A and B are shown apart, each in its own frame.
Chain A
Amino acid sequence: MSSSFPYVTVLVLLPAAGALGAAASARVPRKLVEAGAVAVSLVTLGFAAAMTVAFKAGDGGFQFVSRHVWAQPLGISWYVGVDGISVFLVLMATVLFPIALAGARTREDPRAFVAWMLLLESACIGSFVSLDLIFFFLFFEVSLVPMYFIISGWGFVRRAYAAVKFFVYTVAGSAFLLVGILVVAFIHESQTGVLTFALPALERTHFSGTTGVLLFLAFTAAFAVKAPLFPFHTWSPDAYTEAPAGGSMILAAVLAKLGTYGLLRFDLDLFPHASKVLAPLLLTLAVIGVLYGAIVACAQRDLKRVVAYSSLAQIGFIALGVFAFTTQGLTGGVLLMVNHGLVTAGLFLLIGWIYERRSTWQLSELRGLQTPAPLLAAAFSVIMLASIGVPGLNGFVSEFLVLLGSFLTHRWWAVAATTGVVFAAIYLLWAFQQAFHGKPDPATATVADLSWTERVVVAPLVILIVLLGVYPKPVLDRITPSVNEVIARVELVSKAPAHPQVVVKHSPVAGSKREGAAQ
């Protein structure tokens, strides 16, 4: 099942080693440090790509698993592996980091910046591949620190406020996560006598109805803040806007996925019953997020904030797919995680370049960018159209699957969310029109088009967006088996006759009611 080469461990350690190297390179010229960081992230991408190629399609379980005891009396072990869900998230992260490092460079202190970015890459990959809950928590937390420093060190005017808000919100959420993890492990210990934090072992733990719901809420608190789901999102527009371009890219594209991935991987796997019970709540929040994000995005006069709020709406779509409990919905959710990463990172990258040229994001001042910078406008329009969900680009595939999947089980939520797609077309096209069309004012008329470096950096994103829109089959083939395992588990446990009293007691879900009646 597992290959002999420890891909996953290498993927986690390589960027961290690069970060150490960058931090220690006091006398090296800055250009060399930046190039080195890009090289390290490209090598990481190479490993991730090799792993994805070697990944066996059709196998829903974990592959490339490696396990070593870390702290024996505490039951913590280095237990990593990927399945069809996490392998693409890892790949997405490893694609985006080189682009962010090469495309969104900073002028101040690039050594520290790239060191933080590489450490962040390590933490993100670590979170996606950890099968030990403590290690997951650990990487989940570690990801905060570089992001905090990136926002507060290289951010814009209100970076201090945004960084602290981001940090406090997410740490407060994580407090619940850690306590939740510990409770799960101790309940497992009381049932089996073994103290372990390994996900496959903890999956078999039985929770009583109320305990399961409370634990589900504790886990969800952390993930909902990180994702962010409405109403835990208030930190995100500030953080997205104040972070430097590279920070915004990673924050919206990769860090947000830690939250949605956590919902999928841990909430559904550990608490299938509670997930089913509370799904209407989560779905409602998701739909509110979709609509709220879309409506607020329409009202923004600032290009970066438009994208920040549109990101919130997309996260709502992901949650909608995850809690629909259908193969299509979940597959669409996972695919949307990847697609949203590519699209949002692309938008923030281009917005960063616009800022470099015009020193503003105000839509009212950005007029007629298309005339002096046609390539920039072209790249922006492709990525923007993908975000809207135009067929032929990647956004369409995933949004369609999500809506299809949720329509099968939760019709009215899906109907409400569909209006979000319409809104997305409104605010993004509107923003595009304001920024790129029209007659440029004198300051805009002299703006340079994309340089060769910038073209090379943005090209992979555009290619991937088109490719995934035209031919998503290889990705879907690998995601679906893993998703089916999750769904099978949720269905099995939530309808298990072992806890009939639980099913009857907490069953606002129609399916469970029927089950109870049948008995």
Chain B
Amino acid sequence: MSFLGFLDGLGGPHVRDGVIHLVVVLASVHALAAVTAIHVPHIRYLAILPEIVMLGGAVLLLGVASLSDRPVRMSVTTVGTVVISGASMGLAWWQWADVRQHGPFTTVAGAVVTDGFSALIAILASTAMLLTALVGDGYLRREGVEGPEFHVLAMVSASGAMIMGQANDLIVIFLGLEIMSIALYVLAALNPRRATSGEAALKYFVLGSFSSAIFVYGIALTYGATGGTNLAHLTSYLSTHALSSNGVLLAGMGLLLVGFGFKVAAVPFHMWTPDVYQGAPSPVTGFMAAIAKAGGFAALLRVFVSSFGTLRPDWRPIVYVIAIVTLVVGAGLAVVQRDVKRMLAYSSINHAGFVLLGLQAADARGVSAALYYVFTYSFMVIGSFAVVTLLGRSGDVGHDIAGYRALARRQPVLALAFAVLLLAQAGVPFTTGFLAKLQVVAAVVDAHSAPLGFVAMGSAAIAAFFYLRVAVLMYTPRRPRWVPPGREIVFDPIVGPQASTAAREGSGVSGQAEPEIAPGGSLDGGTAEGAVATVPRTLAELRLWSGSERTVAVVERLNADLLIDREAEAVEDGAGGRRVRVPPAAIVAIGICIAVTVVFGIVPGPLVDFTHHSTLLLLR
């Protein structure tokens, strides 16, 4: 039972925290009971059925695995998880149908709400879980860490995100946050053979605990200022009371924002993201990106737009600034990354900035846009990390961008899939990514924050650059295309001038004698305003020029262009050149992700309506 040991080791303080919070909850329930008549809160089980199924399924799976004599086969665990997630998803759809018909409702003494918003998050979380189970299956087999822990923890985490979506009480939000996060901490450390995995988990855990503490402090201050933690109470209290001095409330609100900002990886609370995304096992990273953003943004939107709605003038400027730095830092730092997982980590920060635009708009259009963004981004990011998982090869280490060179030649379908997912993240039209960006930008423009829209579009341009770079690299063959035979070695920095002599002697006359040569013989064709117009074009000229500073300068400039190329060759000559095996489960998962991304990009109606109605059905 290494799993429980792990949980104890990492979750120790949290278990204590949990107990304390349980006491707090019981005390508040007790206080409530003392004020009103004593009664057990009525529970409408439909409201919490998806969570019950998900959590119960996790416990069941763990129990079966613990009690059985032989190790449970991987396929059984995966199929079980898929069935459980599917059931949970079905129940969430049932909730959705019920809410559409009868309207939203609260239960468990107003602590839990079921509305379109929560149903959407539940559907999203269970779908993410289902896809992750499929992606994780192949990964766990490949890495030889078969066992139910991955799926069990992921299901626990997914149920936490669902709870965050449904929470109608700050305390319940915190419960959901912790259920989600603690499982994610352990998941990050899941692969004991990767040193980076443990490091990532520890970083995530320590920083996550800090943010949880800050979040709780925020709850406490909010409670102190308003006398309650229930969101409905907050809403009505803030709309009926004019606070003469609301410093405590604002401080509480700020601390809550910090806590949420950490979970959704908004700058300046993003420091953990690149390390954790890079270190965690790749399927976990995809899951984490989807789930933590879904849960975090669900609660963030509900608390701020709905409960702190009357304080909009106070928090909208803060979110404005956070959104700008998140957009810029995420896009800017992603450009310089050489590791695909780190690049996707920074890109996820950039995406968080986009979702924050929806929050900044702080109206129905904004919330709807943010929901749409979170929903569609989940499919893109899980799909992307599914491809990254496959290409990471055994040991989950091959994530250097250079390793993606010429992927299209080795595995055209996989390369196409990754290209589609990256382009969708870049916001290319006829994918959901475009509509997601369009809607959030439309929302801020509508909310009179047009400059934010400019910044967002600018960051999208930067982001498009690094997505395209990977996409192009996958379709670029090993050799730089523009260099005609006979001349390539002269300009090749690896081989150097000796080889150039050999090439001269060997090839005789240069490219012009060979009409078959591909475009690109002329070096001076591309110089700006003819600055280096006298660079040698023929070998005869080069002979005169070689050794002069000018040639060196040209070679260096070309080297800069070819930096990635050279390193790619080095990687490819190593382990990177082989095809990777693609398990069927991963094909299904990636297929679903791409289908959702492309189909709803071309036929946007249903999904846009879905998020639109979910927002309209938000209980206020």
Contact = CB atoms under 8 A, between A and B. Distances in A.
B525 A242 contact: yes
Given A71-B604, A152-B472, A179-B450, A361 B445 contact: no
A74 B442 contact: yes
B608 A74 contact: yes
Interface string A145-172: 1001100111111111110100110011
Given A152-B472, A179-B457, A360-B537, A72 B526 contact: no
Contacts of B457: 174-176, 178-179
Interface string B503-540: 00000000110011111111111111010010001000
Contacts of A160: 561
A175 to B, nearest CB: 3
B428 interface: yes
B401 to A, nearest CB: 15
Nearest to A75: B442
A71 B519 contact: no
A107 interface: yes
A198 interface: no
A491 interface: no
Interface residues of B, number: 55
B465 A167 contact: yes
Contacts of B527: 158
B441 A112 contact: no
A159 B457 CA distance: 25
A149 B512 contact: no
Contacts, number: 158
Given A138-B434, A361-B522, A159 B482 contact: yes
B224 interface: no
A108 B481 contact: yes
B412 interface: yes
Contacts of A242: 525-526
A171 B522 contact: no
Interface string A112-148: 1000000000000000000000100011011001001
B446 interface: yes
A356 interface: yes
Contacts of B523: 157
A134 B438 contact: yes
Highest count of chain A CB atoms <10 Å: which of B438, B439, B511, B521: B438
B464 A244 contact: no
Interface stretch (A87-95, A296-304, A329-337): A296-304
A186 interface: yes
Contacts of A138: 429-430, 434
Contact of B519 (A156, A158, A301, A302): A156
A301 B605 contact: no
Of the listed residues B482, B516, B519, the one surrounded by the most CB atoms of chain A closer than 10 A to its CB is B519
A304 B472 contact: no
A513 interface: no
A361 B525 contact: yes
A149 B472 CA distance: 7
A238 B525 CA distance: 9
Given A71-B608, A183-B445, A156 B472 contact: no
B609 interface: yes
Contacts of B93: none
Given A157-B523, A157-B526, A171 B461 contact: yes
A217 B232 CA distance: 46
A355 interface: yes
A70 interface: yes
17 contacts: A107-B518, A108-B518, A138-B434, A142-B428, A149-B472, A153-B476, A155-B520, A156-B526, A164-B465, A172-B461, A182-B441, A182-B442, A182-B453, A305-B530, A359-B512, A360-B522, A361-B525
